Amino acid sequence: MSKKTENFIALNIAVLTVSDTRTTENDTSGDCLADALQEAGHTLFTRNLIPDDIYHIRAVVSQWIFQPEIHAVLITGGTGFAGRDSTPEALMPLLDKDIIGFGELFRQISYDDIGTSTIQSRAFAGFANRTLVFCMPGSTNACATAWHKIIASQLDSRTRPCNFVGQLV
């Protein structure tokens, strides 16, 4: 079979918003990710919004990566340098493998939009228990950039020369 005619494989994806200020009514970043993944043909398996607390973040994501039905987790928020920004500290210990290139590429792409402020992004990704975890800033624009310019193609089984789908299903 030709690589270009390979079928799309829909994934089950969870979305987590980490914020002390957002609510379900104004969570535009979570909405952006949920809408984008569904428009791409994936399934929004679950969604949550929690305060920026290391142990709360770790508990929710640990529960999700334990579920074999969840292939990927998209997390928005808590990746900056403010006092309560703790997503990296919460989740790095859970990762089996880092995807160093995600943070590097995200900051490179973001430079065109926000200039040197991109160095304050601690966006990162990795694998935990065969689940792909992407952590990005809390701004809606950052989530759109991450999804459309990086994540969407890596969660599409038709992307060549490689994608992450074979590692997840």
| pLDDT tens per residue across span 15-34 | 999 999 999 999 999 999 99
| pLDDT tens column, 77-116 | 999 988 889 999 999 999 999 999 999 999 999 999 999 9
Contact of 20 with 51, CB cutoff 8 Å: yes
pLDDT at residue 35 in the model = 98
Spatial strand order of the sheet with 43-50 comes to: 43-50, 12-18, 72-76, 131-136, 124-128, 97-98
Band of the pLDDT at 6, cuts 50, 70, 90?
confident
Band of the pLDDT at 58, cuts 50, 70, 90?
very high
Pick the more confident residue, 59 or 4.
59
Is 1's pLDDT higher than 70? no
Domain ranges for the chain:
8-163
Is 4's pLDDT higher than 60? no
What tokens were used for 146? Answer: 């991450």
Q: How far apart are CA 59 and CA 18, in angstroms?
A: 13
Superfamily of domain 8-163: MoaB/Mog-like domain (3.40.980.10)
What DSSP letter does each residue of 45-94 carry, written as one string?
EEEEEE-S-HHHHHHHHHHHHH-TT--EEEEES--SSSTT--HHHHHGGG
